[in-house]
Structure formats: C-alpha cells, structure tokens
Structure 1
Amino acid sequence: MVEASFNSISQFLSDLFASLVSLLKVSIRGRYATRLPNPQLPVCSVLGNGPSLNESLAEQFDFIRQTEIVCVNNFAHAEIFTRLRPQDYVISDPNYFVFTEQTIDRDDIRQTLSIFLEQVNWQMTLYVPHFAKGSYLLGKIERGNTQIKVVYFNYTVVRGFKWLTYWLYTKGLGMPQAQTVIIAALTLMINRKFETIYLFGADTSWHEQIRLNDQNQLLIKQIHFYDKVKDITHQPVYSDAQRQRTFSMASQFLSLHKVFRGYEVLRDYADHRGVRIVNASAKSYIDAFERKPAGQSVKGPPVQS
C-alpha cells in the first residue's frame, strides 16, 4: 500500500517534470508547427525496409497499390519504387541533411537523390524534419524536381502527461521519440487522420543479427528488402565520430527498448485519435499493434497508373 503510494507520487512528479521540459522546448520551437496535407484515400500503407517486405510485395502488391503508399529512407533504391509510385516519402535520418556534394562515404544518399531528381515523374510529398531546411539535399530536390512537394515536420520530442503530449502531437508541436523512421511516419499518418494504417516490412529483427567479436566490438548485419543478402556482412556499429569505440551491448538493447516503447506510445495515441493501425508485415517482432493480413480491397477513388 505504502509502496504503491510512493510509486504513484513518483510517477506524477516524473510526468510533471517531463511536461514542464516539453513545454519549454515547444515554446522555443513552436513556430515550426507541422502543417500536413489531407489524406488522398481513407487507407494508407506504410512500407518499412525490412527483408520481409519482399514477401508482402509479392503477395499483397494489388492491395498496397489501392492504398495511399508511404515509403521511407532508402526505399527508392528498390526497382519496385517506380512501379508503386508512392504518394508519400518520409526521411528522418540526420545523415541526409549533413550530406553535401563533397561527401564521399554516403553513396546510398547520393543514389536516393539521383532517383528523386531523375525518376520521380509523379506528384510525391516528401516529409522531412524542420532542421533539414536549408540543407544541400533539400535545396537540390526543391530546385530540381517540381513534382516533389516538401513538407517539414516538427521533430520536438515531448513527454509527460498523456493529455498534454496528445494535444502537442495533434497540433504538430511535438512527437514521440522517433527511434526509427517508421515511428515518425506512423505519427505523421495518424495526424493526417487515415481511417486505417497498414504496416508492412516492419521486421524489427535487428537483435537476430547482433554479434560480438573477440575484441568485444558490437557488430550488426543490417539487411533491407532491396539488398543482395550475399553482399551484406556484419559491420561494427561505432559510437564515436573517430570510429574507435562501438556501442555497448547494454546501449544497443536500450535503443531497441526505445523502439518498441515508441510503438506502444503510438498505439495508445492512435486509439485516442480513432485511427486503426494493423501490422500486416510478413514477419515482425512488434507486438503493440493488431496483427492481421491486409484486406482485399480499399474504398476510395481509383489509383492512377
């Protein structure tokens, strides 16, 4: 009884402090409130880049094409990108926004930029955090392809009382911690008020690929659906710019905890907004959302080829 009372008081004080810090951050960045377009269809499909997306695309391609399609990060590297012609694309990796013409070690970003400029010949909305404004990449896209409309979202992480954080999320003044780009994409699509959001390719199975070498270096094999698996090897995950130290096992699993906790936060927020999230990934460790195969048809105007 006493222990429960102490825990309750501790939680209240923790939420109060987090709320005050969040309000302070919002007061500084509030002028960057997110302005989102209305949905084009009642249902959208958020496509993660996990290996299982190949299976989902093979089995659910027709269904996915009937929905508003949301892709993330390096999805454009896949040949199927120009067949899907996604209406929405979310990039949250900060490395994209420090990339310049002189950058020599990020051919993946250079490839994505080239595809955006040369192959996107349909209307597509690109969502990026507000701190990306003025970056080399966004400048090239905004000047080089008028088919791509850039929408800047406010990535201010807010915590605290649910009633406050939900209000800040809804107003576009803050977001949950987006440990992965999928969390950012889902938050944006919840706020656009889709009736149903289907999630594909969200394997979230990085722990299966963690290794430790004889020097206690943390290695991970990061596999995406568009990769040739035989070319992917375990690589050190460095925690410093000098590439001297890798992340510890404890920090890696703490990062994974933040990912799964983020999905739980989004589940509750989606329920609050009356939005249904269905995890239709062929393989996934996410247990926060309803698990169900994608439906057979979607109501709404026909998708243009």
Structure 2
Amino acid sequence: MMLLSIAKKTRTLLMGVTSSVAGASEVALGMLLSIVSSRLVPCVPAKDRARDSLIVCPSPLLDQQIVNPAFRGHYVISFVNSACLSPTFQTLKPERMFLIDPAFFQDHPAGDEVMNSGVERTLARIAVATDWPMSLMIPWHYRHSAIVKWIQANPNIRIVGLPVCNARSHNKFFKKLGLRLGVVNPVYQNVLIAAVFYSLKAGHTRTLIWGGHHNWLAEVAVDGHNQVLHSVRHSGEQHVGVPLVDMDGSPRLYHTYLRQLATVFEQYHVIRDYTRGTGQVVLNATAESFIDAFERIDSISLFSPKRDDDDHKQSL
C-alpha cells in the first residue's frame, strides 16, 4: 500500500512538473514570436479604444435586420470570414476584417466544393469591394503568401499579422500569465475566437458579438456511407447535407469534429475567465446562439435610431 501511495504521489508530481514545463515553454515561445513579429500589444488609438467593438459573423441576420448607418459611429467594427459577402459589408465599412483559417491562404486548397467556392468569393470580395481604409487581420506566418500579396494590390487594405501561439497547456498559472502578457492566445480553433481576443487586447471595454450562432450540431448528421454532413447557413445562403472534409480532402470523422467543436466552446470560457478583473466584458447579441460563455443582449438595440451614449448603454 505504501509503495502504491508513493507511486501515485510521484505520478502526480511528474504530471505537475510536465504541465509547468509545457506552460513555461508556451510562454517563452510566445514571447519570442511576439518579439520577432514586433507585436506584443495592438497599437490602437485611444479614440477607437473608447468605442465598443462590434464583431459581425456570417449570419442570415445580416440580411434580415435593418441597419441604420447613422448609428454605426458607436463601434469599431470587425467582420469575420464570409460575413463580407453580405451587402452590409459595404454599408458598415468595417475597420477590421479577420481571416484565420488556413484554407484562405493555400494556393489550391483541397476539400469540398462549397468550402472552396466560399473561400474564393470571400477573398475576391475583400480585394475588390473594399474602397475604404481597412485592416485585414491574418496569422503572422501567412503574411507573405501569394493570396495576401494579391490582396495588397488594393491600397485601402492594410495587412496586420497576428502572432499565433495557442495556449494548449493545462497549467493555469502559465496560461494566465501568457494571456495577460499577450504572448499566448486562446486556441484559435475558429476566427471568432481570434477576433474577440484581439478586441480585448486592443483595450475595448465592451466587445459585442453579432451573428455568432455556432449551431453546427443542430444541423449535423451522418449518412449511410459514414460521411459527416452539416448544413451551412451563412448570409442568406444555405447548403444542406454538405460532407465535412479536412484540408487534404479526406472525410472528417465524427469524433474528430466533436473534439474540434468542444475546443471552440471551451476557448470562449477561457476568454470569459481572462476578462475577470480587467473591467472588460464580452456580450453576445445573437439570437439562438449556442455560445454559453457570455451574457446575452438584444441585437435590436445595436442599430437603433441614434441616441446619446448613456441611453444606448442602458438599452444594452
């Protein structure tokens, strides 16, 4: 019994040491990457930090809700992924556009036709339709890709490379330290995680999510050939029963898909925990959203007729 007890304590100690080493290594790697990329903390003017950050996701809401452009000045607006395909992209003229998925930066991404079509249309929309100053936020390691060079031909677009050092360690001390220093980030399993975390690091007191439904599991199925199918409902488009495939074209397994989704939802809780004690808050203005980490607000108030700031904040 004594030997068993000693073995258990030794195992626990070794696991703790391993976790600490992994956490410290992530922080060190993140610091090195941040130094190399010259970007520890986003440089955002004080007048922009004082405004709410509104992150717009691909959603049918973009085509359903009436947007009053006069109310737009309350926000620094970010669009993510194919949200730019909506006419609202040119109505709101966002300051930031986020692309994180490797599919956007590969010359010839493999995979399903629906994904490829969406990638091509999204990139073309950004490159051609952006006639106002906008920052395109991308992973730092893709800054020299052929796609990025093509987009840079538009003089209105400024490329901002985001250093990516995903905090996968389970050591709470080093994860919290790395996030506070800004040298590691929550796991960027999807683009909204990156956009929300950037907004917080940029110093916005309030970050609002609009169109972040994340209701993938409500639309998923497995067919008779064991293919995982899902339905895509983005910006007025609908593709039902689309096979899920990885970037190399191989079918995505159901347990792999579930693990990836679990990572997504977990990272929102990492972000929520990060905001504690900072005076910052993330609010979800998406009806029927599956994101369970953030307080909900009514999206109708986002673009109501213009009023003074105090009334606006009370309405939210």
TM-score category (smaller protein): 0.7 to 0.9
Take 1:94 and 1:212, find their aligned partners in 2: how far apart are those partners? 25
Task: Compare 249-258 and 203-212 and name the one that shifted more.
Answer: 249-258
| Residues 1:19 and 2:19 are matched in the alignment | no
**Which of these residues, 244, 254, 258, is aligned with residue 263 of structure 2?**
258
Equivalent pair of 2:228/2:254 in contact (CA under 8 Å): yes
Structure 2 residue aligned with 1:249:
254
Corresponding residue pairs, total: 289
When residues 14 and 96 of structure 1 are mapped into structure 2, their CA distance, relative to the original with a 3 A threshold, is same
Shift of 1:100: 6.2
Take 1:250 and 1:79, find their aligned partners in 2: how far apart are those partners? 36
Structure 2 residue aligned with 1:233:
240
Give RMSD over aligned pairs: 3.1
| Residues 1:154 and 2:163 are matched in the alignment | yes
- Percent of residue pairs bearing the same amino acid type: 20
Equivalent pair of 1:22/1:160 in contact (CA under 8 Å): no
Q: Aligned partner of 2:144: which letter?
A: G
**Which of these residues, 57, 81, 85, is aligned with residue 77 of structure 1?**
85
1:171-190 map, 5 Å = 171-190=181-200
Shift of 1:24: 5.0
- Where do 5+ consecutive residues of structure 2 fail to align? 311-316
Task: Compare 26-35 and 130-139 and name the one that shifted more.
Answer: 26-35
Structure 2 residue aligned with 1:42:
51
Take 1:33 and 1:166, find their aligned partners in 2: how far apart are those partners? 21
Task: Compare 246-255 and 112-121 and name the one that shifted more.
Answer: 112-121
When residues 66 and 208 of structure 1 are mapped into structure 2, their CA distance, relative to the original with a 3 A threshold, is same
Q: Aligned partner of 2:90: which letter?
A: T
Equivalent pair of 1:68/1:86 in contact (CA under 8 Å): yes
- Where do 5+ consecutive residues of structure 1 fail to align? 301-305
Q: Aligned partner of 1:192: which letter?
A: A
Residue 68 of structure 1 aligns to a residue whose secondary structure is: strand
Residue 255 of structure 1 aligns to a residue whose secondary structure is: helix
TM-score (norm 1): 0.83
Structure 1 residue aligned with 2:174:
164
Structure 1 residue aligned with 2:232:
222
Q: CA offsets per residue over residues 107-145 of structure 1, 9 Å max, x none?
A: 433333333333211111111111111111111122x12
Q: Aligned partner of 1:189: which letter?
A: S
Residue 234 of structure 1 aligns to a residue whose secondary structure is: strand
Residue 134 of structure 1 aligns to a residue whose secondary structure is: coil
Give the ranges of 4+ consecutive aligned residues of structure 1 lying more than 4 Å apart after TM superposition: 5-14, 52-55, 59-65, 294-298
